[in-house]
Amino acid sequence: MTSGTRTLACLAALTCSAGLGAAGTAASGRSRGGHASAGAGPGLPGNGSSGGAPIQGGGLAPVHEPPSRIPAPPSERARGRWLGGVEVTEYWPAPEAWFRGRLVSAPGLPGRHRIDWLYSALGVSMEGDGTGLDGRVYHIDALGNGGWVTASGRPTDPGNGWSAGAPYWRAGGYWRNRRGAVTFPLAAGGWSAGAGRRYVALRGVTFTAGAARPLRLLQSIAVDPRVIPLGSRVYVPAYRHDGHGGWFVAQDTGGAINGRHIDVYRPPPASPSDSGRLLTGERIYVIKPRSRHQWPAP
């Protein structure tokens, strides 16, 4: 989920989370920049419908951190509270290996990288972080000017529930075809949606090496800080067998993470067709920070 940030937020408010994800998880915060999470909303890639730039199979095998001591569920005396009606989605660093766009240079990054990995709603611009073909982690550092556009090139915004349509690409860094829709060059030659007639620039966007935030796989979550303060410890029963007893720390935010919605930071699935977990009506336990000092990283 600034500095580009998933918190970035799916755009700057986009702020990182809209409902998509590296391959479908978007929406979450998925961005410092845009962040989308699986199943975050109708029409998003995470829901199996159109919305994200095309990706190809392959991908990275999940790499799980060794489990630490599994903490017990909260007791009745724990200084927290249960919160019901929570939606749970997932997000992960976008693997460049899943994308098929032409390699292009990007502001702030060495070498060349796939254009759809950089700017699409399934890539680094939305997820905030991504793993390059070289195995290194990169993130979006500045969101630049503009928000998001649909596949047809219409502006769309998470603030109104993507009412104009699912986000497909940043509002720049793409070409328009003869119908005015978004298209981009492919690594194998040709174009994704017809030949590009006019290039639309994206001013002010930059990327840089490293992760945007010190998040931990299956230990960090993105939240709406108006509902769950950053630094809170959160117990999610549905994840109690995933290596850390179901406990997380609220360390990220996302433009599409609003209200009773949390986004779990996890390893990339084995396939881009896996949109991650989507749970609704969950009951979670929240222990707010004891003071101004947030809980340490998990």
Is pLDDT above 70 for 191?
yes
pLDDT digits (tens, 9 = 90+) for 193-238: 999 999 999 999 999 999 888 899 999 999 999 999 999 999 999 9
* pLDDT for the residue 103: 98
In degrees, to the nearest 5, what angle opens at C-alpha 184 toward C-alphas 149 and 56? Answer: 100
User: pTM (2 decimals)?
Assistant: 0.71
The DSSP 8-state label assigned to residue 188 in this structure reads T
Residue 261 DSSP SS3: strand
Residue 231 lies in a domain: yes
| CA–CA dist 201, 71 (Å, integer) | 49
Question: How many domains does the chain fold into?
Answer: 1
**Residues above pLDDT 70, as percent of the chain:** 73
Residue 298 lies in a domain: no
Residue 282 lies in a domain: yes
Question: Over the chain, what is the mean pLDDT?
Answer: 79
pLDDT band at 24 (very low <50, low <70, confident <90, very high): very low
Residue 295 lies in a domain: no
Name, in order, each residue with C-beta under 8 angstroms of 285's C-beta and a sequence gap of 6 or more.
Answer: 73, 74, 78, 80, 81, 82, 83, 234, 235
Q: In what helix (H) or strand (E) does residue 170 lie, and over which residues does it extend?
A: strand 169-170
Residue 57 lies in a domain: yes
Residue 158 DSSP SS3: helix
Residue 297 lies in a domain: no
Is pLDDT above 60 for 63?
no
* pLDDT for the residue 235: 95
* pLDDT for the residue 72: 72
Residue 179 DSSP SS3: coil
| CA–CA dist 71, 9 (Å, integer) | 31
| CA–CA dist 206, 172 (Å, integer) | 13
Residue 1 lies in a domain: no
Residue 47 lies in a domain: yes
Residue numbers of the domain that contains 155 = 9-287
